[in-house]
Amino acid sequence: MDQPRRDRARHAAPSTPTSRSVPGKSTGRRRATPQKSSLSLLREASSKLPVQQVAAIAIAGVLVASVSASQQNPDTPASTPVAQKSAMETVSAAANAELVFSRVTASSKPAAKTPSTGKPGADSASSDINQIKAVNDPEAAQAFAATKLADFGWGPDQMSCLSSLWTKESSWQTTAENPSSLAYGIAQSLPAEKMASVGSDYRTNYKTQITWGLGYIKERYGSPCGAWGHSQATGWY
């Protein structure tokens, strides 16, 4: 004879163990302990540390944060040129700091004096000209004089008188100088500076001396032969 349905159902269903509750312990999943932020840890530490140490820790935290940010963005420069310049400009020294300057040397040697004036830096152009080597070439000087006769209105016949006159005076030497009168050059200009009206190189250039001498003869004696006649009569022209 079959058992009642109620008894069969009781025997067929497995019994499930019931969980026992332990006093003082919670049942189910445990929640993870919340992690404290750096700021919270800093606040907790600040209450136990002196003010100076707290400030140092705060500065260290800012530096660590900035380094972390720069590592995350490698393309971002650590500092801009403007920031570097500002940092350099804000550097200061103590009031009693020793300053060292580089030594600058200067020459106290006076300027060289020129032979003509004896004054430093004066007449430099004349000094440079006097240092140029004079050309003593009687043949070239006579050939040049022959080409200049027509410029003063004279014919070739005047060349013989001119040659005799200046051979007597200077032998056609550019640097000829009379030791007693200090007359100078082929035409024996007295003083020598008169020839500067033609050119500043009158002491070294026979062309300048000849051009001035022919003008002098034209003005005083009319022609080279007139000057040569006067020289024969008086010994000078």
pLDDT-derived band at 75 (thresholds 50, 70, 90) equals: low
Q: Are residues 153 and 65 in the same domain?
A: no
Q: Considering the domain boundaries, does residue 88 fall inside one?
A: no
What pLDDT band is residue 59 in, cutting at 50, 70 and 90? confident
Q: Say whether both 151 and 68 belong to one domain.
A: no
Is residue 4 in a domain? Answer: no
- Distance CA(169)–CA(209), nearest Å, equals 13
Question: Is pLDDT of 1 > 60?
Answer: no
**Mean pLDDT on 134-155:** 96
Percent of the chain whose pLDDT exceeds 90: 43
**91 vs 146, more confident:** 146
Question: Is residue 151 in some structural domain?
Answer: yes
0.75 surpassed by pTM: no
> Does residue 8 fall inside a structural domain?
no
Euclidean distance between CA atoms 210 and 135, whole angstroms: 13
Please give the tally of structural domains in the chain: 2
Among candidate residues 72, 93, 113, the one where a domain is terminated: 72
Asked if residue 155 belongs to a domain, the reply is yes
pLDDT for 168 beyond 70 = yes
Cβ contact 219:210 at 8 Å: no
Say what the pLDDT of residue 51 is.
61
Task: Please tell me the predicted confidence (pLDDT) of residue 45.
Answer: 60
Range of the domain at 45: 40-72
